[in-house]
Amino acid sequence: MGKNFELSTNLKKYFGFENFKGNQEPVIQNILSGNDTFVLMPTGGGKSLCYQLPSLMLEGTAIVISPLIALMKNQVDAMRNFGEDDGVAHFLNSSLSKSATLKVKEDVLEGRTKLLYVAPESLTKESNIEFLKQVKISFYAVDEAHCISEWGHDFRPEYRKIRSIVNEIGSAPIIALTATATPKVQHDIQKNLGMLDALVFKSSFNRPNLYYEVLPKVNATKEIIKFIRANPGKSGIIYCLSRKKVEELAETLQVNGIKAVPYHAGMDSSTRSGNQDKFLMEDVDVVVATIAFGMGIDKPDVRFVIHYDIPKSLEGYYQETGRAGRDGGEGRCLTFYSYKDIQKLEKFMQGKPVAEQEIGRQLLLETVSFAESAICRRTILLHYFGENYIDANCGNCDNCLHPKKEFQGEEFVIKALKLVKLVKERFKIDHLVNILTGEMNSSIKSYKHDELEMFGCGKDRDQHFWNMVFRRALVHSLIEKDIEQYGVIKLKPEGRKFLKNPVPFMLTDDHDFEGVDLEATKA
Ligand code: ADP
Ligand code: ZN
């Protein structure tokens, strides 16, 4: 009997499922073959099964490194449901008593435990390392692997020690899993875990049923009330940046007869979980929340997600909007944007370590670029996740439904690419734009770029325009952002080809959010 047959039988036997989801089967086969494996799958894609099933089939114990204690307990309970043996899955973390810890270690050493969940803090403890050295390990699974990267949305320094601890305990294949798929984060993870050769399984992050729209932040509160009234009885989440705004907006909605509750980490825990339950049980329609709301919440029929404030990163935007339409039905994602909010976010970052500020600034730039662009929202979002999705009118975003007029832009793209080459692919977009528009500043001066023949060669257009040209070139894979020095623009093979052999290239002006009268937002 072939392996495939055995896999399906075990899928049914242990989990009661008839078919594998997405990449699960090839992923599991790769693990069973003893290779390093990298799994990029959106939330809800079925990542846990990718390590749970092979752990039951292989000799020894699989070590699962996972950051959340609460999540660990759920997973262990779920695993015990289908194992004949209570000891089939255990967790090891700081919440266990001494005697419970002893029982876990006994089960593991007796070979009854197929899966051992370990918090990264516990993994770094010398006594646990000594213990694990005695264990036959089938493989290591690093869950939420984006925690390794400072470019991910949940950086945890202990995650960076995993590789050296694995070496100390004893090497075995590694499987890394995450729902964060930006090429930068992916590269960081593979490099840090020493698995650049791993086989990578990447699912599409496209959510065709989600509608994306960015609106100028004018009279946002009024607009939100209007929208909710036009969608009576539908469930939705509204994200705000600050706790204060959360409370304010929830109150305004209530005053306007909308069933809404606030949710943020500053509330006492019983009110907070009470509000969450009201939303899940549909006693209220709307929850107004900070980003503290949503992790692990599985309400399938959320019909809209509104960002009252622009998120700090596109990653956050994707995760938060992703909570809409999980049942495959309608999911409207509206974002209110004004450039002033970006400046506010930049101000918040001051005082943080310089490296962190630089990362924050780059992530923010990506968000600005998304908000202001007249290109298909889905195209930009998926491009950010390293997916190629062009030529298509997605039919489900504001820019595709109301396209702006296009014009022939070949000459501008040529200028932009020529400049990238001229300065030896060592500069970021804002610097390149400054050269084209002839903007003098200290950086231009120190590189003597004002002496370049191209300095000011595009000054008949403004900075906004040239930013747009670079974004277009990025989305069309003519240029790319360097993986190691993020933000530095390099030519891609397609870009070199374009320079040698230019072809017609259509452009559209970006949206102009600067002309917006922001005082009106006080509604
Ligand atoms: P992720 O960790 O990627 O967010 P989970 O591992 O929590 O996803 O799985 C999401 C849901 O899909 C769970 O309810 C799980 O039971 C279910 N699931 C996983 N694999 C399958 C499958 N092969 N068939 C049906 N349901 C599955
Ligand atoms: Zn679109």
The dihedral region occupied by 425, where left means phi > 0, alpha psi between -120 and 50, and beta the remainder, is left
Query: Can you tell me the distance from the alpha carbon of 340 to that of 202, in angstroms, rounded to the nearest whole number?
Result: 36
Query: Can you tell me the distance from the alpha carbon of 121 to that of 124, in angstroms, rounded to the nearest whole number?
Result: 5
Q: Which ligand is nearest to the CA of 79?
A: 1
| Nearby residues of 504 by Cβ (< 8 Å), 6 or more positions away | 408, 410
Q: Which ligand is nearest to the CA of 390?
A: 2
Q: Where are the alpha helices (DSSP H) in 423-514?
A: 429-437, 442-446, 463-475, 493-500
Q: Do the Cβ atoms of 345 and 365 come closer than 8 Å?
A: no
C-alpha 196 – ligand 2 centre gap (Å):
33
| Nearby residues of 442 by Cβ (< 8 Å), 6 or more positions away | none
Provide the β-strand partners of residue 201: 39
Query: Can you tell me the distance from the alpha carbon of 171 to that of 163, in angstroms, rounded to the nearest whole number?
Result: 9
Map 236-257 to HEC letters. EEEECCCHHHHHHHHHHHHHCC
Name the residue with the closest Cα to ligand 1, atom 27: 46
C-alpha 101 – ligand 2 centre gap (Å):
52
The predicted structure's pLDDT at residue 509: 87
The predicted structure's pLDDT at residue 298: 79
Query: Can you tell me the distance from the alpha carbon of 231 to that of 240, in angstroms, rounded to the nearest whole number?
Result: 20
Closest to 488 measured CA to CA, from 431, 422, 418: 431
The predicted structure's pLDDT at residue 67: 86
Query: Can you tell me the distance from the alpha carbon of 481 to that of 429, in angstroms, rounded to the nearest whole number?
Result: 9
Residue to mutate, 25, 27, 48, 64, ligand 1, most ligand atoms under 8 Å from C-beta = 48
The predicted structure's pLDDT at residue 83: 61
Q: State CA 441 to chain mean position distance.
A: 34
Name the residue with the closest Cα to ligand 1, atom 12: 46
Query: Can you tell me the distance from the alpha carbon of 517 to that of 22, in angstroms, rounded to the nearest whole number?
Result: 47
The predicted structure's pLDDT at residue 63: 97
Query: Can you tell me the distance from the alpha carbon of 393 to that of 379, in angstroms, rounded to the nearest whole number?
Result: 9
Residue to mutate, 7, 17, 115, ligand 1, most ligand atoms under 8 Å from C-beta = 17
Q: Which two tokens stand for residue 112?
A: 């009854």
Tokens 């607009």 -> residue:
223
The predicted structure's pLDDT at residue 1: 44
| CA distances to 103, 153, 246, 263, 333 from 289, in Å | 41, 18, 6, 5, 15
C-alpha 394 – ligand 2 centre gap (Å):
4
Residue 338 main-chain phi, psi, to 5 deg: -140, 145
From first to last of its 523 residues, what are the pLDDT tens digits of the chain?
A: 455 778 999 999 988 999 999 999 999 999 999 999 999 999 888 999 999 999 999 999 999 999 877 677 777 777 777 666 778 899 998 888 999 999 999 999 999 999 999 999 899 999 999 999 999 999 999 999 999 999 988 899 999 999 999 999 999 999 999 999 899 999 999 999 999 999 999 999 999 999 999 999 999 999 999 999 999 999 999 999 999 999 999 999 999 999 999 999 999 999 999 999 999 999 999 999 999 998 777 799 999 999 999 999 999 999 999 999 999 999 999 999 998 888 888 888 888 898 889 899 889 989 998 999 999 999 999 999 999 887 678 999 999 999 988 899 999 999 999 999 999 999 999 999 999 999 999 999 999 999 999 999 999 999 999 999 998 899 889 999 998 888 899 999 999 999 999 999 999 888 877 655 544 444 3
Query: Distance between terminal CA atoms of the chain?
Result: 69
CB-defined site of ligand 1, < 6 Å? 17, 19-21, 24, 41, 43-49
Pair type for strands 286-289 and 235-239: parallel
The predicted structure's pLDDT at residue 522: 42
C-alpha 122 – ligand 1 centre gap (Å):
27
C-alpha 17 – ligand 1 centre gap (Å):
10
Q: How many CB atoms lie within 10 A of CB 7?
A: 19
Tokens 């595009």 -> residue:
458
The predicted structure's pLDDT at residue 84: 63
The atom number, within ligand 1, closest to the CA of 21 reads 23
The predicted structure's pLDDT at residue 521: 43
